[in-house]
A and B are shown apart, each in its own frame.
Chain A
């Protein structure tokens, strides 16, 4: 994602010497400082932790619980709703008390199907994001820190995957290899890691120039250790933002594949439900509404949380004077 690359992260806190009174404990309060003055500039080193800024943002307060709710429903919901493949004799019933989301063309309870469908989308989204973050951290970290042939190789590989948009490669590969959940996760991870790796690489290049990495090198630490304990932790905030975007994009691509009929037939996901809903748009509008709304809300939640995280870590970006 280009937009994250343009955002420069303020120098990490570890760059400044820790307060002498020990980490974690608040600095001694100055008696002359006015208490609780809003918007007051804090002395260096005592800024509010970005995590707390993030957790107190209004959008976080809305979307973190929303995402949690979806995860909870995906984890426990299938136990509470009935059998998603049990057919009834009432086909295409509009939403009612007995069937809160109506029934589909085979008389199956749609709520049960939507709740079960969420598992695949969320599983794919989060697994792909974790895999991309892992690959991205390793490859991007090594490339950015070492440079040289490793860097060249990584940039070329990333370029290869960026020429063709992920969905095209995913379509071809999923159609060829068959489409179970593992294969889809693998394909999406392979096509989507470069986005994360490029950000890690840029961060690693920047951080490698900083003084404390220089001194770690002078102290004779091995480079793997420097990357692991000095470079990567400080590269984490932009990486987390990119990862949250990966969750959203993976869910969108997975549902798109399933909508095109390329998905795991034994575990229908939200995209697959929309695929069959297309034929009944005239007679059963509710079939097309619920699964799409779920995809939308989950992707919106992860994107909003990514934005909030980005804002919390880069409060000064683009401040208008």
Chain B
């Protein structure tokens, strides 16, 4: 329910913000040529811009819930939703691998750093994470292009596939995905390291250690499940950041995704497309947040304990049960 209010609030604020914007979208649409009054009136009516703001707002809001995001303010008059969906696949082709690499890599690197705390390996990982976290990711992308595309010639500089060919070429995918993944990887490594250190300091880890378990067993089987909780939250947010960051990364690599569409729409005052992209982003982020809560419940051992028959044993019995599990 509160997500719904949030969603409507985002649309409302942006709708009126765009309404207040200076500049004349119709002139932008036509270009730098003189415009006759009759033609202007015709276009204004065609886009429904002659109606009062409130009427258009209510109409738009109603349309959004039926999946109609309006029509692009361009020569083709495409439906905004189709326009976005035609680009969404390209953005996901970058975002999904970047999300997976950064999450899995962050869990592994953060755990290793926590395990080797205050030694050189931890120093290297933690220092590298802060450094990568501080790099502007579009600049990182530019450096990758300079080194790997221009100097070494291993990867193409721009675009998503060889000229004139449909689909996505793997060699075109490598650099943008790396660019997108790095800053998130750095952030997740930091989070994972601190939550793993906290987890390793808990009493149940001491208990397990006193039973003579190997330290890798201790790390991966006992400390990890608890340390993963903050990671779930962070990962939820990170998908939003990856999608938002795609604006920059797609610009660097000339990647025809939603981010490039967004920038294009902003430069041309294509208000319906701007709104549409933000709405799609908001829906994705809200859905991911809901999903995050669900996953959190599944991963949290304390919450899981309420549903699992094994864990409902009285406290003194639980110890035995745990050692049974370990023996098994």
Contact = CB atoms under 8 A, between A and B. Distances in A.
B274 to A, nearest CB: 6
Interface stretch (A84-92, A156-164, A203-211, A222-230): A156-164
B267 A318 contact: no
B230 A172 contact: no
B266 A171 contact: yes
Interface stretch (A43-51, A130-138, A253-261): A253-261
A252 B136 contact: yes
A299 interface: yes
Given A172-B14, A274-B139, A300-B130, A159 B274 contact: no
A318 B289 CA distance: 28
Q: Which 6 A-B pairs have the closest CB atoms?
A: A292-B139, A318-B197, A165-B244, A176-B21, A300-B134, A299-B134
A255 B266 CA distance: 17
Nearest to A293: B139
Contact of A296 (B135, B150, B200): B135
B196 to A, nearest CB: 8
Nearest to A245: B133
Contacts of B240: 163-165
A271 B281 CA distance: 25
A285 interface: yes
Interface centre among A156, A163, A299 (most CB of B within 10 A): A163
B146 A320 contact: no
Interface centre among A282, A295, A320 (most CB of B within 10 A): A320
Given A173-B17, A176-B18, A271-B136, 19 more contacts: A3-B191, A3-B230, A159-B2, A160-B10, A163-B10, A163-B286, A165-B241, A165-B245, A167-B244, A274-B138, A274-B142, A278-B142, A281-B146, A281-B150, A295-B139, A299-B136, A300-B134, A318-B198, A320-B200
Interface of B: 2, 6, 9-10, 14, 17-18, 20-22, 117, 130-131, 133-136, 138-139, 142-143, 145-146, 150, 190-191, 194-195, 197-198, 200-201, 206, 230, 233-234, 237, 240-241, 243-245, 247-248, 251-252, 262-263, 266-267, 274, 278, 281-282, 285-286, 289
Chain A contact residues, majority secondary structure: helix
B138 A259 contact: yes
Interface of A: 2-3, 6-7, 156, 159-160, 162-165, 167-168, 171-173, 175-178, 248, 252, 255-256, 259-262, 271, 274, 277-278, 281-282, 285, 288-289, 291-292, 295-296, 299-300, 303-304, 307, 317-321
Contacts of A320: 117, 197, 200-201
A315 B285 CA distance: 35
Contact of B6 (A6, A160, A177, A255): A160
A172 B266 contact: yes
A313 B25 CA distance: 53
Contacts of A160: 6, 9-10
A164 B281 contact: yes
A163 B138 contact: no
Contact of A295 (B136, B150, B248, B266): B136
Contacts of B282: 163-164
Given A172-B274, A172-B278, A295-B136, A288 B248 contact: no
A292 B143 contact: yes
Nearest to A318: B197
B12 to A, nearest CB: 11
Contact of A303 (B2, B134, B200): B134
A167 B142 contact: no
Nearest to B262: A171
A319 B282 CA distance: 39
22 contacts: A2-B233, A159-B2, A160-B6, A163-B240, A163-B285, A168-B278, A171-B262, A175-B266, A176-B20, A176-B21, A256-B248, A260-B251, A262-B266, A274-B136, A288-B142, A295-B136, A296-B134, A304-B130, A317-B194, A318-B197, A318-B201, A320-B197
Given A278-B252, A292-B143, A6 B278 contact: no
Interface centre among A178, A256, A291 (most CB of B within 10 A): A256
A151 to B, nearest CB: 15
B199 to A, nearest CB: 9
Contacts of B245: 165, 167
Nearest to B274: A172
A248 B195 CA distance: 23
Contacts of B286: 163
B99 to A, nearest CB: 14
